Amino acid sequence: MTNDQIRMNIKQRTIKAPVSISGSGLHTGEKVTLTFNPAPENHGYKFRRIDVEGMPIIDADCDNVTDTSRGTTLSQNGASVSTIEHVLAALVGLEVDNVLIDMDGPETPIMDGSSIQFVDAIRSAGFLEQEADREYYHIPYNIHYSEPDRKVEMVAMPLDDDYRFTCMVDYNSQVLGSQHASISSITEFVDDIASCRTFCFLHELEMLLKHDLIKGGDLNNAIVVVDKEVDQEELDHLAKLFNRKDISVAPQGILNNIELRHQNEPARHKLLDMIGDLALVGVPLRGHIMAARPGHAANVAFAKR
């Protein structure tokens, strides 16, 4: 573990120099370049749409969330940015406080479906400690949120000296099963969480394709869980859609024999999403977050609470 990961910051910090990363948006399929820029003290996280007249700025704030159906979308000043959770998770995990994020398109690049390439880009820019003290929001007492119809349960509990997470997912799937993931400190994010990719079920993938969504999707940037019987004709059809010679189902029920980076990678990715969405509180947190069956809508509602 590097010094950058283990340091317990008191001062705010930004990055030393601009750094860019390019790719396609998962849902729009549009090519986009995202640039992390140094920002002054007490700036927080802000997005700037440099392809829109006037280059409007969008604050990374839970009050600006306008959609959580397939990722988290922010809108302000007549512009929007979507699928922002993996980018924000990288910034939180690296304990960077102030960054201006330029985008020349409406959706962040999906990259490999995780946060690791954003982490690598940010670390390559280097970190700059600033004069202002970092202000934390210390969870003052147990804060609860639930959605009984979706069996979502969340609680934030006081913890004075760190940011801890515990996450459980259960989709009533024989393939995926019930999974848990946890980190005892935000310093564990880079090694244990950042590389965990997004996932979906095959029936969800088919629905999204049918509605002309996930135009930037690729079998390399998502784990596809096969939760039903699939014949060769359907596999051939999927291979054609994704411009691959062939597609198969691995014994563990994952499409195309993609090797999982962790046995509980889906649960770890849900934890990653939570870290990114809860960045929309606007300041770094001190507390222990426990969640069962979280999703973007619940994460944002919890952030507001």
Q: Show which residues are catalytic.
A: 296
Task: Quote the tokens at residue 164.
Answer: 């801890």
Task: Quote the tokens at residue 135.
Answer: 């202000």
Please name every residue paired with 285 in a beta bridge, in sequence order, or none if there are none. 137
**Whole-angstrom Cα distance, residue 256 to residue 270?**
22
* Backbone CA torsion sign across 250, 252, 254, 257: negative
Residue 90's nearest CA partner among 63, 59, 120, 113 is: 120
97 neighbors 111 (Cβ within 8 angstroms) = no
101 neighbors 34 (Cβ within 8 angstroms) = yes
**Whole-angstrom Cα distance, residue 83 to residue 67?**
10
**Whole-angstrom Cα distance, residue 93 to residue 185?**
10
